[in-house]
Amino acid sequence: MRVIVVGAGVVGTMHAWHAVERGHEVVQIERESEARGASLRNFGQIWVSGRAGGEELETALRARVLWEEIGERVPGLGFRANGSLTPVRGELELAVAEAALKRGDAEARGYRVVSAAEAREINPALKGDFEAALYCERDAAVEPRVAQLELKKALLASGRYTYIGGREVREVIGENAVRDDLGEVHTGNAVVFCTGAWLGGLVRELAPELPVRRVRLQMMQTEPLGETLTTSVADADSFRYYPAYASEALDALNAGQAQDPVAAEHKMQLLMVQRKDGGLTIGDTHEYEHPFGFDVREEPYEHVARVAESFLGRPLPKIRHRWAGVYAQCTDTTRVVHREQVRDGVWLVTGPGGRGMTCSPAIGETTANELGW
């Protein structure tokens, strides 16, 4: 087969990966010279711990296996099985962590509640004050700023892959063909649009009732920490955000312990991951109402910096980068992704939300299976 993939973010690139792996020829078209959206502007987390049970967790666990397999073949991805720790303070936060252990899928996630001393054995950089932590062994990380580039290098080496950057697909022509903004027609046996948060123009024409919304977030990255952060780190606000932690204990936390006003206003949690250069990626916020602001707000950065410093027990290194990003999320947030045939031989795959980096290998694999590649 010849497969046309529109979009070179991580979801599109994983579709290209699976097609090439199955012996097909792929042409991947990206409107920028290289992808610049949420696929790069994220934590690079393979985040199993907070996923909803059922299909979402199954997708994340399958993706975790695929990321590790691909990482062995493409070392430049920087895959590492680093796990995660969510430090907790007080009885209410601890009760949510302990309730997570009672889930039927707790073992599959690698959940374990550890003391503060045990947490510091796992991650010695956590020198701040906390009483215990929820450990998730199955969480992992990759390097988001280079992942697509490294995957592209591997795809090019196959001899069955062509990358066309700086072209915007403007029209679907008949079956299995698209025309770009230079007038070139690209024809294959299947066309898959993986355009991320680009939901206007041709995407709106193809799927005018698309059940997907855009979400904006703010993040930042520091200079090198000077020591190793051996796991990803979250705070107890992540319990409020991720569906895996829904429980009576969480209801009690929400009722009995008010969220910091800045965190509540900006729908925040702390997530923190160390990059290969030693810097820390820290965030994040969630903005759902359109139109999004064009500027970034300082208060959320100050909040996550305080929380991160409280766990590290030391000041953060100098902030090197601040940025905002936008991703596409299904309006029915229980759905992993929206996958729709929009024309004969043409499919649209979008809306994984904050699961995109985590689940993209399994999303691409499912599309390949369903389309009979």
313-331 pLDDT, tens digit per residue, is 999 999 999 999 999 999 9
Mean per-residue pLDDT of the chain:
97
Helix or strand run (H / E) with residue 352: none
Who contacts 102 (Cβ-Cβ below 8 Å, separation ≥6)?
A: none
| Per-residue pLDDT at 15 | 98
For residues 203 and 348, the answer to whether their CB atoms sit within 8 Å is yes
| Per-residue pLDDT at 308 | 98
Who contacts 359 (Cβ-Cβ below 8 Å, separation ≥6)?
A: 56, 59, 60, 63, 336, 337, 352
DSSP, res 304? H
| Per-residue pLDDT at 174 | 87
Q: How many CA atoms lie within 13 A of 89 on its CB side?
A: 10
Residues of the chain with pLDDT under 70: none
**What are all long-range contacts of 176-180, with beta carbons under 8 Å and residues at least 24 apart?**
176/4, 176/344, 176/345, 176/346, 177/4, 178/4, 178/6, 178/29, 178/346, 180/29
Q: Which among 238, 311, 318, 307 has a CA at the least distance from the CA of 280?
A: 318
**What are all long-range contacts of 19-22, with beta carbons under 8 Å and residues at least 24 apart?**
19/368, 19/373, 20/155, 20/158, 20/160, 20/161, 22/368, 22/373
- For the domain spanning 84-137+212-330, the CATH number is 3.30.9.10
Judge if pTM exceeds 0.85: yes
343-360 pLDDT, tens digit per residue, is 999 999 999 999 999 999
Instruction: Please state which of the four CATH numbers 3.20.20.70, 3.40.50.2300, 3.40.1500.10, 3.50.50.60 is assigned to the domain occupying 1-80+138-211+335-373.
Output: 3.50.50.60
| Per-residue pLDDT at 192 | 98
For residues 11 and 364, the answer to whether their CB atoms sit within 8 Å is yes
SS3 280: strand
For residues 363 and 209, the answer to whether their CB atoms sit within 8 Å is no
- The residue ranges of every structural domain in the chain are 1-80+138-211+335-373, 84-137+212-330
CA distances for 76 relative to 11, 73, 108, 142, 279, angstroms: 18, 9, 27, 9, 17
184-227 pLDDT, tens digit per residue, is 999 999 999 999 999 999 999 999 999 999 999 999 999 999 99
First to last CA, the chain: 8
